[in-house]
Amino acid sequence: MQLVTGSNETERQERAATADGKQKPEEGKQKNVGDALRAVYQDAAGEEIPDEMLDLLSKLK
């Protein structure tokens, strides 16, 4: 899975802008979904691995 960050995100937002400088509604929804997915991923990635799982993984070596 590829996360969009930095200048790529800025470029995407600029392309989505209409002549009056506002984002298209569907682009705004996509950004909200992307932001929510990134937040969930960051929460999951930051969780501690349970000791039981580490024990199981060590037995696979």
pTM of the model: 0.40
Q: How far apart are CA 16 and CA 11, in angstroms?
A: 9
pLDDT for position 45: 93
The average pLDDT across 33-57 equals 94
- Residue 59's pLDDT band (cuts 50, 70, 90): very high
Instruction: Express each pLDDT in 37-48 by its tens digit.
Output: 999 999 999 999
CB 4 within 8 A of CB 12: yes
Instruction: Express each pLDDT in 1-22 by its tens digit.
Output: 445 455 566 555 556 555 566 6
- DSSP characters over 24-42: PHHHHHHHHHHHHHHHHHH
